[in-house]
Every structure is written in structure tokens, then in C-alpha cells.
Amino acid sequence: MADIGRPVTTTDQPKPAKQVEIFDTTLRDGEQTPGVGLSVREKLEIAEQLVRLRVDIIEAGFPISSPGDFEAVRAVSRAVQGSGVTVCGLARTRQEDIDRSWEAIRDSERPRIHIFIATSPVHMKHKLRLTEDEVLQAAEDMTRYAASTGAEVEFSAEDATRSEPEFVRQVFRRAAAAGAHVLNVPDTVGYTTPAEYKTLLEFLMADIMPAHPKVKFSVHCHNDLGLAVANSMTAVTVGVTQIECTINGLGERAGNTSMEEVVMGLYTRRSYYQTNCCIDTRQIARSSRLVTTLTGIPVQPNKAIVGTNAFAHQSGIHQDGVLKQPLTYEIMRPEDVGLAGSALVLGKLSGRHAFRQRLAEMGYTLTPARLDRVFARFKELADRKRDITQRDLEALLEDEVVDGPETISLESFHVVAGNGAIPTATVRVRVGSETKQEACLGTGPVDAVFRALARAIGLGDEAGLKLADYSLKAVTSGEDALGEATLRLEMGGRTALGRGVSTDVIEASALAYVKALNRLLGSAESSRPTAAEGGASGGAVSDAGRLERGTAPE
Ligand code: KIV
Ligand code: ZN
């Protein structure tokens, strides 16, 4: 019988014969999304969720690109020990990159160094200014050097799909002979098509596999022409066993292959692909939300799998069909991606033990200090909101990811607004050991609070503080739903994201503003240069170790 979707158990369809490994690069390629800059703490939070999702490999960063990236890769390597996941650090084909990468990942239980060099004529001539022979030599020498550390080595031929297939074949032969364990064929600029990619992969695999049967083939696709997922899925049909992807398809320009689409494609159409992966699909929705929250990059409503409309049926005919038989219009079940109804979990009288137990069931084990903080927030929320759902708890956990000491905190605020009233806000904030207060008028109550907050900490109009983005949404439904405010502040060429949740949307906005101010004025690592300044997005290190635009891998 042909697939009609919604596999319910492993017995309803033939068991997939093969496994494909999921290589997540949200923390490396995904972080190259314009405007995104994750702190070490945020990267750790995402890495822990990737472990719950059961990815096989986490590419945690590009250690030589900045001290912050190095720290993050090292912290992830240490934090996920015992989970069985491989932690990977990116490096160019240079000894100093490889040394730095190895230093950052050496504490991982499964370290992998990912080295890359471009093989296309346009990259070799204009970017690298290297001849073919020099590229061949660098591929061989640096693969051998990376392998001498004892780490697993992945070798990528950057821009492989615009390279001469014969040249990529020669480069791969040299890398495989020098000890590469994985050979990656990136579609760096999202240029190829499924049929063309298939031909290239078959050509390369037929040449390398007989001499190196243990070498794995991998794909890494960008989405410039909207084909990243289609190209990656095609690769599976020719026997590629690793897919590189990001949560929500984040990444440079139009992004990378979207993990949730690949995983649900393999799962839903497993009798077609005859391949599966180890991902716990029920963690998909939560992973997507966490990444949205921490990066501030929203998911479009009609995005496959994780968009808010992905499981919504609008037309009467569709609704009628789904009520009669879900299979009519649903090829996947919402609960398979973790969208089960947001069940009531706890209430006002729930104690600390029940709270910890519920978090553990959701997959969270918190340190005692963090548990204390989240429990205190939960109690505050329980006073204002009758039913506390799993989604509410997730929102509190996400909100509580802090990057370090926050010197500014909101003590209280008061607003006057309404028909005929001039919106006015009074705020009281704590800055270090001092308490400051200020009152301001605004175009609305939120604007008045923002102005008062900025002025209270000494940032008058002349400071050039700009609200670059602001959005407000409900976390769950219902009158007492939590409101979530996300905003971005810019000042002096730096940008910082802030997010706040509360049942009061003005309070949520004020909390988000204070969080962004802390990041903007505090650690330089968690606020990023703006795109106009040549920020982390698109930047890579030059020979001198400075950030420079335009040389980053995609
Ligand atoms: O897109 C690309 O080519 C990359 C490589 C580093 C794999 O990101
Ligand atoms: Zn890339």
C-alpha cells in the first residue's frame, strides 16, 4: 500500500533498514543568521535541548572566530558529557584553527574537528587565492594534522556543488587517505537541484566507498532557492548517512536545511525512504520555541512542522474531513512533534517536590539555585494564573536563562493610560546598589515605560538608544495567558535582545527592556555588533584574528 501518512507504530509500515545521523549546526551555521548572537549560557541551553532531541552531532561553534565562541564550544563539550552526543568544532585548513578547535572540544566524550576548504574555481581564485595543487595539499596535510589529535575528522569541500566534480573527487581521495572519517558535500550557496546533487553524490561515493568503506558521506545544504530540504532528502536516497541541518532552518541568508522538516519527512515517509533517525520527534516543538526565543527570530506561521498554522485547518471542508477521519488532511499527528494539548500540570498549592518532579518528566534537571529561581517565578505566576500548563513552565524556564549578573532590575512601575489620558509612566529601577526613579510621557503606555526606564538609568535622548524591534504575543490561550514580549535595542553600533513574560503585557515589555539594557550595557559577548558594523553574522577571522566580513563559511 502507498504511504498515506501518520505512521502510528513501528508495525504499521516496514521497519526502516538504515539510520541517518542528524548533525545539528544551529549553534554554528544557525548562529550566522543576521542579527543573531547567542551568549555562552544560551548556547548551553540550546545544547541541552539538542541532547533531549537526541541529535547525533552538535556543531557548537567555530572556536578560533572569537573567545566567546571558543568558550561556548568548550562549555558545551563539558556540559553534554555522558549523553553520547558528538561535539564538533569548525576549523579552516590551518594549524592554528585546528589547535583551537581541538582545545575547545577535547573534553567531549566524542570530539570531532570539522575542517573545510573551498574547492570551486570562484572561491579558489578570488577568496583563497590558491591553486588546485595548493588546495589538494592543504586538504591532505590538515586532515592528517587534525586526525593526529585523536578526534574524529570531518572534511568539507566548501562550495562543492559549484566545483568540478573531478576535482572534488581528487580532494576527497586525499582527505580520505589522510584519515577523514566523514566527507561532507556542501551546497554552500543553495545552488544545486535534487537531480544534479544526486549525480554528484553518486559519482563521489562510487569512487571513495570501495577503498574507504567506513567513511561516511554527509550533506550540508543552504536554502537560497528553497531546495535545501529537497536536496538533503534526495541525498538519503543514494545512501548518504549524515544530514547537516538547523532548528527552524536558521542560517546565513535564506538559511540551512530545516531539521524538523527532514526528520518528519523521514519519519512520515519511512516506507519510501527506508531510513530513519534517532530524533525524539516529540521534542521538536519545544526545540523550535526555545531557538525562536533565544535568537529572537520568529517562525513564519505557515512554516512546515513548526509554524503556528502547520496543524490548523481553516476551511470548513477540511475541518469536516478531519473530524470524520484525521487521515483525510493530516499526514502527521500534532502530538508526534510535541504539540499535545497543553495539559494542566500544576496549581497554586503544588509544592517544590511536585514542581521538580514535573520538570523532570519534561526532561529538565535543574541545579538547586536555578530550581529556586524558577520555583519562585512559578509561585508568583500561580497567584495570578489559575491553570499552569506545560507551556507556561517552558516559558518561565526560557525567560530565566541569564547570561550573568544583571546590574539593572525593575523594582516597580505604574502607568496611566486610556481614552483621553496622556500615557504616563513612573518606574523605579535598581542599578547596582542604587535605586532610581523617573516619570515620562509616551505615545502609549509601553512607550512611556520604555522612555522612563532609559532615562532612569541615565540614557536620555542624546544617548542614541533605539528600539529596533518589538513584538508581543500570548504564550498560551485564555484570559489569564502569559504574554511574551521580545525586543531588540540598538546603541552605539551594538544590538541586544530582551524578552520578558508576565500575565501583564506592560510588565512583560518592561522586563524585556530591562533584560536588553543589561545585555547592551553589560557583557559585550551577549550583545552583538549590528549588521552595519560588520557583526558576527557573516564574519570570520582573518589571518590577524580580526573579524572580517564576507569570508565566513555559509
Ligand atoms: O556552507 C558551507 O559550506 C559550510 C561549511 C563549513 C560546511 O557551512
Ligand atoms: Zn553552511
Ligand 2: distance of its center to the CA of 14 in Å? 34
Cα of 220 vs centre of ligand 1, distance in Å, is 7
* Measured distance CA(290)–CA(394) in Å, rounded: 9
Question: Domains (ranges, CATH) in the chain?
Answer: 21-295 (3.20.20.70), 312-396 (no CATH), 403-534 (3.30.160.270)
Number of H-type helices and E-type strands within the chain: 17, 21
Decide: helix, strand or coil at residue 457: coil
Atom number in ligand 1 closest to CA 118: 3
Whether residue 26 contacts residue 249, with contact meaning beta carbons closer than 8 Å, is answered with no
Ligand 1: residue of 142, 155, 188 to mutate (most ligand atoms within 8 A of CB) is: 188
CB 453 within 8 A of CB 489: no
Residue pLDDT, tens place only, 272-288: 999 999 999 999 999 99
* pTM, two decimal places: 0.83
With cell 568503506, the residue in question is 213
* Distant-in-sequence, close-in-space partners of 62: CB < 8 Å, separation ≥ 6: 28, 69, 89, 90, 91, 540
Taking 90 as the threshold, does the pLDDT of residue 546 lie above it?
A: no
The answer to whether the CB of 120 is under 6 A from ligand 1 is: no
The answer, yes or no, to whether any atom of ligand 1 lies below 6 A from the CB of 29, is: yes
Helix (H) or strand (E) holding 507, with range, is helix 505-521
Question: pLDDT (tens digit, 9 = 90+) per residue, 309-354?
Answer: 898 766 677 777 777 778 887 899 999 999 865 455 788 888 888 8
The bridge status of strand 242-245 relative to strand 275-276 is unpaired
At 12 the pLDDT is: 47
The pLDDT tens digits for 64-116 are: 999 999 999 999 999 999 999 999 999 999 999 999 999 999 999 999 999 99
Q: Ligand 1 pocket check: which of 29, 64, 232 to mutate, most ligand atoms within 8 Å of Cβ?
A: 29
Q: How many Å lie between the centroid of ligand 2 and the Cα of residue 295? A: 18
Alpha-helix runs per DSSP H in 125-258: 132-147, 165-177, 194-208, 228-237
186 lines ligand 1 (CB under 6 A): yes
Ligand 2 centroid distance, CA of 186 (Å):
7
**Nearest-angstrom CA–CA distance, 144 and 178:** 5
Q: How many A from CA of 50 to the centre of ligand 1?
A: 20
Nearest-CA neighbor of 552 among 241, 252, 221, 171?
252
Q: How far apart are CA 86 and CA 83, in angstroms?
A: 9
Q: What is the pLDDT of residue 14?
A: 58
Residue 387's contacts (CB-CB under 8 Å, 6 or more residues apart) are: 344, 347, 478, 480
Q: Which ligand is nearest to the CA of 91?
A: 1
The 10s digit of each residue's pLDDT in 459-496 is 988 899 999 999 998 887 677 788 899 999 999 888 88
pLDDT-above-90 percentage for the chain: 67
Average pLDDT for the chain: 88
110 lines ligand 1 (CB under 6 A): no
Give per-residue pLDDT as tens, 369-415. 889 999 998 998 888 887 788 888 888 888 777 666 678 999 999 99
Q: Which of 150-154, 159-163, 415-419 has the lowest mean pLDDT?
A: 415-419
| Model confidence at 142: pLDDT above 60 | yes
Predicted local confidence at residue 16, as pLDDT: 67
Q: pLDDT confidence of 523, banded at 50, 70, 90?
A: low
Query: How confident is the model over 219-233, as a mean pLDDT?
Result: 98
What separation in Å is there between the alpha carbon of 157 and the centre of ligand 1?
A: 8
b (16+ CB within 10 A) / e for 424-454: bbbbebbeeeeebebebebeebbbbbbbbbb
What integer pLDDT is reported at residue 192 of this predicted model? 98
